Amino acid sequence: MENDCEPKHDQNVIVRIANSGDSALILRFIRELAEYERLLDSVVITEEVLHQWISTGQVEVLIAEYEGEPAGYAFYYSTYSTFRGQQGIYLEDLFVRHQFRRRGIGTRFFYELVEIAKARNCFRIDWTVLDWNVNSIRFYEKLGAMAVTDWLPFRLHGAALENATYHSQSGQVREDVKSSEIKK
C-alpha cells in the first residue's frame, strides 16, 4: 500500500518562496481558504498589508504551482520558545486548491517547511486545524503530527482587545503603549 505522505517527486509541481509581488495571488488564496472554512466574512486583510508583511520578513509564504498554475500556499512565521531558547515555525495557513488536491502538494509543503525548520535550527512546527476538518486532521496524523491536548488556545480580539487597557496608578493610559505609537 502506498503511503500518502511519502514525498512525491512530481515534476509538474514547483514550490517556491513568495515575494511581495505575489501579494495579489496570496490574497486570492486567503479568500479561497476562508470560503472553504466558512469564514469569508472575516477576511479584511489587504494586498498592501500583505505586501508590507512579506517585504519586511514578518511573514513568509511558499507557493505551489502545478504545470504553471497557482495551486496553493503555505503562510508561516517565526515563533520563539523561552524554555528551549530556540526558534520555531507557526504555520498560519496551508491551502491547496480543490482541483490540485491529492497530487502530493500538501505533503510537499510540509517537507519544504521541515527543511526550512531544520536549516534554522527550529525545534518544532505548530499549527491549528478546525475540529470539523477531518480530512486535514487525518493528513496531519499520517505525517506523524499529534494533536496538542494539554494546552488550550486562547484569543483576545475584537471588543475584548479594544477594552483591555492598562492604566497607571494615576488612571492614565501609558504614553508608550498608545496604539497610535505602536508600529503595525
Residues written for the chain: 184
Helix axes 23-36, 47-55, angle to 10 degrees: 120
Q: How far apart are CA 61 and CA 52, in angstroms?
A: 13
With beta carbons less than 8 A apart as the criterion, state whether 59 and 76 touch: yes
- Measured CA to CA, the distance from residue 139 to residue 104 in angstroms comes to 11
- Is residue 77 annotated as a catalytic residue, yes or no? no
Residue of 66, 77, 140, 166 marked active site: 140
Placement of cell 477594552 in the chain: 163
Cite the beta strand spans of 4-149 per DSSP E. Answer: 13-17, 60-66, 69-81, 86-96, 125-126
The catalytic residue positions are 140
